[in-house]
Amino acid sequence: MAKISSYPYDPTVNDNDAWIGTESSNRRTKQFTASAVATYLNINAKVNIGGQMSFKWSDTQNGGGGTVSKTGGGGSGAAFNSLTELRFSKKELNNERVIEFFTYLVGKDILIGQGGEISQFGHYKLNTYNVDPGNASYYIATLTFLGGNGTIATEGTVYTVIHFNINAGDVNLKQNFGTSTQWVINNTTGKPEPSVTLLDNNDDQIFGAVEYTNTTTITVSFDSAVSGSSILN
């Protein structure tokens, strides 16, 4: 085999490009594709990202370093909307201490998502985060479910936890109106001229003459009386 330095450089990496390496279980030489390496790094949270914590799910309460578990154990197959109390080890998978960051997030929204499955997630308010009185290596988090989809996967599945504020950018504020030729909308967005979407009672979009009366009031006039709702964004 020629010296590695004798091979040309390729600055463009494709999914099916491969490297030679050693498999840890039997010390045999294998090929590893760029796609396989990327999948391993993503699913197993091997790349540190600021504000992101990673834990493996354990069906055993307080199941070891880098784990998240349900109080009382179990949990695989449980719906995200059924989770109200979880136990996190004080260090995540990458051995980073998380106590201070979790403490900062109390009272805020968090997202718990399955690695490699973006549609499996739970959106919660983190109500409390306190040390487990029976084991100081773990902290107990109480949660209020706000939204999400799916169920907890099998033991050992990696989950990421991030601060999540769905209203950090656009703010959708909906107001309902009875039948009238004029709607007076309270503008509580903090913006002088937010976009206005008008809907009838079937949630079909309708149109009227929009006037930004002042910074806190928007008046909409219609040719005929109509009921429905407005959304400020």
Residue 108: which CATH number? 2.40.30
pLDDT band at 28 (very low <50, low <70, confident <90, very high): confident
| Contact partners, residue 161, CB within 8 Å, separation at least 6 | 52, 53, 54, 55, 68, 88, 110, 111, 112
pLDDT at 10 > cutoff 80: no
Give yes or no: residues 63 and 147 share one domain: yes
pLDDT band at 35 (very low <50, low <70, confident <90, very high): confident
* Residue-number span of the structural domain to which 228 is assigned: 173-232
Strand-pair partners of 185: 218
Give yes or no: residues 158 and 205 share one domain: no
CA 98/CA 45 separation, integer angstroms: 15
Give yes or no: residues 57 and 158 share one domain: yes
Would the CA dihedral through 165, 168, 172, 173 be positive or negative? positive
User: What is the DSSP secondary structure assignment for residue 82, as one 8-state letter?
Assistant: G
User: What is the predicted pLDDT for the residue at 75?
Assistant: 95
Of the candidates 96, 115, 114, 118, the one whose C-alpha atom is nearest the C-alpha of residue 40 is 115
- Mean pLDDT value across the chain: 87
Q: Are 99 and 90 in contact (CB under 8 A)?
A: yes
Give yes or no: residues 59 and 159 share one domain: yes
Give yes or no: residues 34 and 86 share one domain: no
List C-alpha distances in Å: 163 to 37, 89, 125, 170: 27, 18, 10, 17
Give yes or no: residues 65 and 138 share one domain: yes
What is the per-residue pLDDT across 191-208, written as a single tens digit (0 to 9) for each?
888 889 999 998 889 999
pLDDT at 105 > cutoff 70: yes
Structure tokens, 16: 């099916």
User: What is the predicted pLDDT for the residue at 120?
Assistant: 93
What share of the chain in percent tops pLDDT 70? 90
Number of domains in the chain: 3
Rounded to two decimals, the pTM is 0.60
Ranges 42-56, 120-134, 164-178, most confident: 120-134
| Average pLDDT score over residue span 158-177 | 77
User: What is the predicted pLDDT for the residue at 32?
Assistant: 81
CA 49/CA 165 separation, integer angstroms: 17
Helix (H, G, I), strand (E, B) or coil at 159: strand
CA 184/CA 208 separation, integer angstroms: 12
Structure tokens, 20: 């030679």
Helix (H, G, I), strand (E, B) or coil at 148: strand
Strand-pair partners of 87: 69, 140
Per the domain annotation, does 203 fall within a domain? yes
User: What is the predicted pLDDT for the residue at 12?
Assistant: 82
Of the candidates 93, 14, 80, the one whose C-alpha atom is nearest the C-alpha of residue 49 is 93
CA 148/CA 80 separation, integer angstroms: 7
pLDDT at 94 > cutoff 80: yes
In degrees, to the nearest 5, what angle opens at C-alpha 152 toward C-alphas 25 and 34?
40
User: What is the predicted pLDDT for the residue at 48?
Assistant: 57
Per the domain annotation, does 123 fall within a domain? yes
pLDDT band at 25 (very low <50, low <70, confident <90, very high): confident
Written as one letter, the residue type at 142 is T
Per the domain annotation, does 2 fall within a domain? no
Give yes or no: residues 108 and 130 share one domain: yes
What share of the chain in percent tops pLDDT 90? 58
